[in-house]
Amino acid sequence: MEQVFVVDHPLVQHMLTQCRRTETKTWQFRGFVEEITAMLLYEAVRDRETVEKDIITPVAAAKGRIVKDSEPVFVAVLRAGLGMVPGALRLFPYARAGHIGLYRDHDTHVPVEYYCNLPPNISELDCFLLEPMLATGGSAAHAISMLKKAGVKNITLLSLIAAPEGIEAIVADHPNIKIYLASLDEKLNENAYIVPGLGDAGDRLFGTT
């Protein structure tokens, strides 16, 4: 699928493996998620345009290049997406951040919004949706629809791990969205956990297991 990019850099794979391990502690897990996010984002902005800029170094006048008109916004899907925000803001410290909270209705299994706080000018921003585990893809697909409804034109999804089912859901609903992953795993189990995955990303980030 040409909209899906698995970042197979050795450091990403090394840190993802540490994240997966049961014995990895909460504080270590947070650090790895932060680092992986920064590396996924690094790849995701590879095709952004740059423009020439005249600068002065301590030695001479020079021509440099800077990222063109880039005002990113990072939108975390609560709660696990919060763990990805520090890594993203590290690369773009001046970026804005938004938050989307969704839960799954018990009977219909349809995602229901309980929180949405986005920058007012989001339609003009370069938007990155942060959802570490793309399991069924239902929440991410719904969050993308919310962003599109808010007028966002440029949306990239960053996830640590996806199941094939999650990818299929996004590709079916949003064929124009690029997805950057550290791993495409094997499957979902009967409880909709990704296999082999890393367990519940929110619990592992916040020590609530």
Give the residue numbers marked as catalytic: 104, 108, 200, 203
Alpha carbons 19 and 198: distance in angstroms, whole number: 7
Neighbouring C-alpha atoms within 13 Å toward the C-beta of 205:
18
Closest CA to 178 of 159, 156, 160: 156
Q: Are strands 96-104 and 111-117 parallel, antiparallel or unpaired?
A: antiparallel
Closest to ligand URA by CB, 5 vs 193, is 193
With binding defined as CB under 6 A, does residue 200 bind ligand URA? yes
Least separation, in Å, of the C-beta of 73 and ligand URA? 23
Report the residue from 15, 97, 194, 205 that binds ligand URA according to the rule CB under 6 A.
Answer: 194
Closest to ligand URA by CB, 155 vs 201, is 201
Closest to ligand URA by CB, 119 vs 199, is 199
With binding defined as CB under 6 A, does residue 206 bind ligand URA? no
Q: Which residue has the tokens 């859901």?
A: 169
Neighbours of 198 (CB within 10 A): 25
Alpha carbons 32 and 14: distance in angstroms, whole number: 9
With binding defined as CB under 6 A, does residue 98 bind ligand URA? no
Q: Which stretch binds ligand URA (CB under 6 A): 18-26, 94-102, 144-152, 198-206?
A: 198-206
State which of positions 121-160 bind ligand URA (CB under 6 A): 133, 135
Do 85 and 128 touch, CB atoms closer than 8 A?
no
Q: Which stretch binds ligand URA (CB under 6 A): 2-10, 31-39, 50-58, 195-203?
A: 195-203
Alpha carbons 45 and 178: distance in angstroms, whole number: 11
Q: Which residues bind ligand URA (CB under 6 A)?
A: 80, 133, 135, 193-194, 197, 200-202
